[in-house]
Structure 1
Amino acid sequence: MTEPTASSPELTEGDIVELTVGEVAHGGIFVARHDSGRVVFVSDALPGERVRAEISEVKKRFARAETLEVLDASSERLEHVWPEADVSRAPDDRPGGAEFGHTSVAFGRELKRRVLADALARFGGVEPEFEVSSLGNDDETRGTGWRTRVTLHVDDDGRVGPFAARSHRVVDVRSLPLAFPDIDELAQQIIAKGHRGPGRIDFVAPADFEVRMRARVKGASTRKPELLRERVGEREFAVSEDGFWQVHRLAAVTLYDAVQDAIDRSRFDVSAQHFDLFGGVGLLGAAVAELAGKDARVESVEDAKEATELALTNLAEWGGATAKTGRVDRYLHGLLDSGADALAAARAGTVVLDPPRSGAKADVTEPLAELAPAQIVYVACDPVALGRDTGLLRERGYELTRLRSYDLFPNTHHVEAVATFVRA
């Protein structure tokens, strides 16, 4: 490692530099500018701080750095909620998954709001007013104990733990503070003993609070995944143990209610054909169907066959509910080739769009806008993807009329948003 000098201002990997930290950027990192003029994205910092950092990567237009020492701390800085992820530990040994753990949950929400607002303005051309809402008592617990699904990894030497931040190297930890307490307790027993590897170990604590553990070593699982029962209010959902379900204990009910609240009732035709695209096991399709009533016509579309089969089960109480397996873009193109009656029913309907982190993209937004449903409720887990897709939908005649955001992942950089789009 070398100290840069005035005669050699260009950054190289391993350099130790002092940086004044600016605003937050997408991905849980912060923007600084080195004396050479190069932008540096630095982790484990906060706006306004002066830090000593190590350059970990140098690209043509920017560099990345890890904070080694905080020279002038922000008033928002707190002792890290996860001791192993603190700046006092070497960067290579810090576990990932708690990028904002060195501040309060409330200020973490403000950082997420800034990132989402910036993405919507830059890529979507809109500047809605909104806040990021907390769940339950997360402020009181500093956002601990909420993860009901945790994956640890096993390296070639049998060491068990999380990956280091931005790495696939297993690091030693003595705590998992974001995990549901019973998962943390069981995981610590496995960490202490070690496990044959390489592979991964998945822990899940569903609605019955009984923790399940399943190891996958060298591609082989120790047992078949169990069929779990999750609950949203009084409603029950069947979910595969290795299938997708919201991780925060309160996330599923939060999104269920948020989707119902996001639907513009003046544009909601209970007799129309509604859609839950990227529908998973039917959680949000059920939210729409409940509003439409016992004769609801809701079709869930998902490319994972097992999830589609479970969606059929979870939506069975509505006689008009269906589920299809397939890619959403191909499904929409097929729908556009339907008969006049089917198209009319679809155009009067409401679409819930819950894409993966990469977003819907033009492959989906273009045929969706051509279908021209009465409204689109977009559930987003990535600010930049939502910003980009907002721009795409606006280009095709839709406008953002409502936005709500939720902190489903305290102490991380991830944030959820639910946006309503209607034809202008």
Structure 2
Amino acid sequence: MATETPLELVLEIGPAVHGGHCLARHEGRVVFVRHALPGERARVRITEQRRKGYWRADAVEILDASPDRVPSVWPEAGPDGVGGGELAHVALPAQREWKRGVLVESLVRIGGFDAQDPLLAGLSVEPVPGDVDGLGTRTRIELTADGAGRAGMYRYRTHDVLPLREMPLAVAEIAALDLLSRRWQPGARIDAVAPADGDPVVLVDGRPAKGGRTHVRERVQAGADEYRYRVAAAGFWQIHRGAPATLVDAVLEAATLELGQRVVDAYSGAGLLSLPLARAVGEQGHVLAIESDTQAGRDARRNAHGVPQLELRTAQVTQALPHIETRPDAVVLDPPRAGAGAGVLNGLADLEVPLIVYVACDPAALARDARIAVERGYRLEALRGLDLFPHTHHVEAVATLRR
């Protein structure tokens, strides 16, 4: 049976939009194009056609190139390749401008903010201090073995595993493990973790490889202070080597805490932000850390040992808020990609919390939640964009909402 030839079109590429795509149009139909840049003219291959609604496409030939285009730092993440490096063909300054534009557009379109507001008009997406080229920065990678036992990643938007020849975003300690040349059990999931302290750990289907450890130790230097953590190797931790310290600095700057104050750290994980917040308010203050994941909660209890002002509670944030009897001076929100949601934002407004520091990894979720907060009497006082995921479309934001 003959295979149908994919449809190819020549399109003028429009602005960058959320998800690592650029927007183009064909006969009035929206086409979301990957591996292109705004202003380019490209031959694109349609990868998904819908009878109604938008199409998806990959740029397979650039006819008129943007000055911001560079040779891809990871060609295997290019057209018809794996996900996870969709901006590898974009110069780093242009990547950050791309992310700034998506963040601002989300806040305007979804959040209802004014694009001329100085906070949005003057926004930039900042690199992690010391990050020169965005390569060799990931301390955690996830691979899957194909049918022949070769380690790879999924082709974008499929369940097809493509074996990899290189992983340029991984730190040197992971590269030295030579995971890509080994043979694995077909279908195995391989996770590699390179902690700040100690040797790397390899997990196969969630279990440490022979002689491996179940936990790793992380160390974060933020300003003059150092914080130490013990976290499950399979648990959540920021993947960029410099991201933990960058986030701690950004949150403490936004929160402007004083000794003796009361703080809630919601979606607190293993305590990355909880320990610095506890130090900021001192033993005369109080930090309530709320986390629903039991493994992260167990890690947090170990990390909180000897910090009497830090109280840990394993619960959903929406369930915990009604039981907070004393109004906190500030709440730090670091929710998953879906955001905190109306239940949490309305709950904080009902508590009359004067300050919310919102750490967001999804611009659309941040825009939606910021709009809810503004409708409940908050104002967007400060906003920072952080490039914790170079060569991808992901961007972190730290928003300060004050009542």
Matched, 1:278 2:267: yes
Q: Is the CA contact 1:123–1:387 (under 8 Å) kept in the aligned structure 2?
A: yes
**Could you tell me which of 124, 130, 140 is aligned with 1:137?**
130
Residue 247 of structure 1 corresponds to which residue in structure 2? 239
Q: How does 1:182-197 map to 2 (within 5 A)?
A: 182-186=173-177, 189-197=178-186
Cα distance in 2 for partners of 1:179, 1:56 equals 29
282-291 or 40-49, which moves further after superposition?
282-291
Residue 165 of structure 1 corresponds to which residue in structure 2? 156
The CA deviation at 1:118 is 0.6
Residue 228 of structure 2 corresponds to which residue in structure 1? 236
Are the structure 2 counterparts of residues 13 and 119 from structure 1 closer, same or farther at C-alpha, using a change threshold of 3 Å? farther
Residue 141 of structure 2 corresponds to which residue in structure 1? 150
Matched, 1:261 2:253: yes
Are the structure 2 counterparts of residues 174 and 289 from structure 1 closer, same or farther at C-alpha, using a change threshold of 3 Å? same
Secondary structure class of the residue paired with 1:246: coil
Residue 109 of structure 1 corresponds to which residue in structure 2? 96
Q: How does 1:192-341 map to 2 (within 5 A)?
A: 192-208=181-197, 210-216=199-205, 222=209, 226-233=214-221, 234-263=226-255, 265=256, 268=257, 270-335=259-324
Cα distance in 2 for partners of 1:320, 1:220 equals 34
Q: Is the CA contact 1:148–1:204 (under 8 Å) kept in the aligned structure 2?
A: yes
Q: Deviations over 1:308-345 (max 9, x none)?
A: 1222232333312111111111111333xxxxxx33xx
**Could you tell me which of 9, 21, 29 is aligned with 1:38?**
29
Secondary structure class of the residue paired with 2:155: coil
Q: Deviations over 1:242-287 (max 9, x none)?
A: 1111111110000001001001x4xx46434311000001111222
Matched, 1:28 2:20: yes
Secondary structure class of the residue paired with 2:337: coil
Secondary structure class of the residue paired with 1:138: coil
Q: Which amino acid aligns with 2:193?
A: V
The CA deviation at 1:371 is 1.3
Secondary structure class of the residue paired with 2:14: strand
Cα distance in 2 for partners of 1:95, 1:32 equals 22
Q: Which amino acid aligns with 1:304?
A: D
Secondary structure class of the residue paired with 1:162: strand
Matched, 1:401 2:381: yes
Cα distance in 2 for partners of 1:369, 1:245 equals 29
The CA deviation at 1:225 is 5.3
Are the structure 2 counterparts of residues 78 and 397 from structure 1 closer, same or farther at C-alpha, using a change threshold of 3 Å? same
Q: TM-score, normalised by structure 2?
A: 0.92
Are the structure 2 counterparts of residues 202 and 183 from structure 1 closer, same or farther at C-alpha, using a change threshold of 3 Å? same
Secondary structure class of the residue paired with 2:163: coil
Are the structure 2 counterparts of residues 302 and 13 from structure 1 closer, same or farther at C-alpha, using a change threshold of 3 Å? farther
Give the unaligned 5+ runs of structure 1: 1-11, 336-341
After the TM superposition, which segments of 4 or more aligned residues of structure 1 sit over 4 Å from their partners? 219-225
The CA deviation at 1:289 is 1.5
Q: Which amino acid aligns with 2:378?
A: Y
Secondary structure class of the residue paired with 2:13: strand
Q: Is the CA contact 2:197–2:219 (under 8 Å) kept in the aligned structure 1?
A: no
**Could you tell me which of 104, 112, 135 is aligned with 1:125?**
112
Q: Is the CA contact 2:125–2:386 (under 8 Å) kept in the aligned structure 1?
A: yes
206-215 or 142-151, which moves further after superposition?
206-215
Cα distance in 1 for partners of 2:148, 2:318 equals 44
Q: Deviations over 1:189-214 (max 9, x none)?
A: 33223211212000010012522111
Percentage identity across paired residues of the two chains: 42
Q: Which amino acid aligns with 1:28?
A: G
Secondary structure class of the residue paired with 1:22: coil
Cα distance in 2 for partners of 1:221, 1:291 equals 36
Cα distance in 2 for partners of 1:79, 1:147 equals 21
Q: Which amino acid aligns with 2:215?
A: L
User: How many residues are treated as equivalent by the alignment?
Assistant: 388
309-318 or 359-368, which moves further after superposition?
309-318
Q: Which amino acid aligns with 1:227?
A: H
Q: TM-score, normalised by structure 1?
A: 0.87
Q: Please tell me the root mean square deviation across aligned C-alpha atoms, in Å.
A: 1.8
Give the unaligned 5+ runs of structure 2: none
The CA deviation at 1:410 is 0.6
